[in-house]
Amino acid sequence: MSSADDVDAAGYDDLLVGFGHALRAVGLPVGSDDVLAFCAGVSTLDVGDIMDVYWCGRATLVRRRDNIPLYNQVFRHYFLDIEPATADIRKKTLKASSTAGATLEIPNTEEGLPGQVSPDEIKLGYLASTSEVYRHKAFADCSDDEIRQLRRMMSRLRVTPPKRRTHRSTKARRSSTLDMRRMAREMMRTLGEPRDLSFRKRKEKLRPLVLILDVSGSMADYSRNLLQFAYSARRANTKVDVFCFGTRLTRITRSLDRRDPDEAMRMAGEAVMDWDGGTRIGDSLRDFTRQARRARLGRGAIVVICSDGLDRGEPAALAESMEALSRIAHRVIWVNPHKGDAVEYVPTSLGMIVADPFIDEVHSGHNLASLERLADRLAKVG
């Protein structure tokens, strides 16, 4: 399409509408009203000027900065007949990692790995009297019986769901805000004599909680423990959503209603793992942000990701999806058992380094005490 001078108005509209369809075809959310605005926009500008058409489309058909490269590509192809370059244009060069190949060699030890508990501690006798010991014992070192005992303790874990202030206010017995409106009305009744003070405060609403659990190999046990959170939070009426991932992402919120946690985890494991595929955190999180945008999940939520950060996918994909996630969620909390009891956590795996700038808090979740701390924090981050 080199010149629009000899095209009549009707043919021109067809062309513009066709462009809208071309954008839709590559997955950009372009509505009919957007196309209408685009046509209306172009008709107020110089119809023969390709630059006007370009910028008009940018203003009316694109609503996210991330979509601009894709728009450019379609524009070039549609109006200028330039074939898209073969490389994935959405790939960003990543500053944090010099070589993506480093991900292929997965380090199997990190500092602060839980598990160095003295044998004496393990020998300590009766379960009922040793809950304090178990509280600090890494899950990885517990026998099956001990795990069962811990699970029982965990089921009593209180999750105070995070809250947020809403737009509306309500009568309060005491707060820092006077209810002037009410007081003015009261004074009318008493002919200008002030009586009691009335107060208002902001109403509070529960924040939704989203758990994204890594159920691949070594992480499955830790993720299983976090599921207990989902149950506890649900008892407190919070909106809880649970996703599991390995190579793929799947939502298991529904199955939480019916089955017990172990069953739910097993089902999730089957749904999301190609056993030789390795963990693809970046791709899974991107799936999540896509679903989240569409289904309005996770907006303003506390998102808890449980993973060791050993990612087999592209680091760029992880960085991109973490950035998107951090903008949708209210807080992003990462539970990484490799943190162990270390107070200052220094990310060592590439995945964690890449994700680190977008994480608000890192918890270890490798023993009960740490999970209790997490439960405590959840109530406060709202």
Smaller CB distance to other proteins: residue 128 or 188?
188
If you search the block for the tokens 């370009």, which residue do you land on?
A: 54
Residue 338: count other Cβ atoms within 10 Å of its Cβ: 25
Residue 364: count other Cβ atoms within 10 Å of its Cβ: 23
Shortest distance (Å) from residue 380 CB to other proteins: 17
Shortest distance (Å) from residue 328 CB to other proteins: 6
Dihedral-angle region of residue 135 (phi above 0 means left; psi in -120 to 50 means alpha; beta otherwise): alpha
Q: How far apart are the first and last CA of the chain?
A: 54
Query: What three-state secondary structure class fits 202?
Result: strand
Tokens representing 318 are 């992880």
Shortest distance (Å) from residue 235 CB to other proteins: 26
Smaller CB distance to other proteins: residue 188 or 343?
188
Smaller CB distance to other proteins: residue 17 or 153?
17
If you search the block for the tokens 């409106």, which residue do you land on?
A: 181
Smaller CB distance to other proteins: residue 193 or 276?
193
Shortest distance (Å) from residue 201 CB to other proteins: 12
Smaller CB distance to other proteins: residue 163 or 373?
163
Gap between the Cα atoms of 79 and 2, Å rounded? 8
Shortest distance (Å) from residue 95 CB to other proteins: 6
Query: What three-state secondary structure class fits 111?
Result: coil
Q: Which residues bind other proteins (CB under 8 A)?
A: 29, 31, 33-34, 37, 40-41, 44-46, 51-52, 55-56, 58-60, 62-65, 68, 95, 165-167, 169, 180-181, 183-184, 187-188, 191-194, 202, 293, 299-300, 324, 327-328
Contact assessment for residue 209 and residue 238, using Cβ atoms and an 8 Å cutoff: yes
Strand extents, DSSP E, 88-238: 163-172, 177-178, 199-206, 209-214
| Pairing label, strands 249-251, 240-245 | antiparallel
Smaller CB distance to other proteins: residue 63 or 152?
63
Shortest distance (Å) from residue 106 CB to other proteins: 27
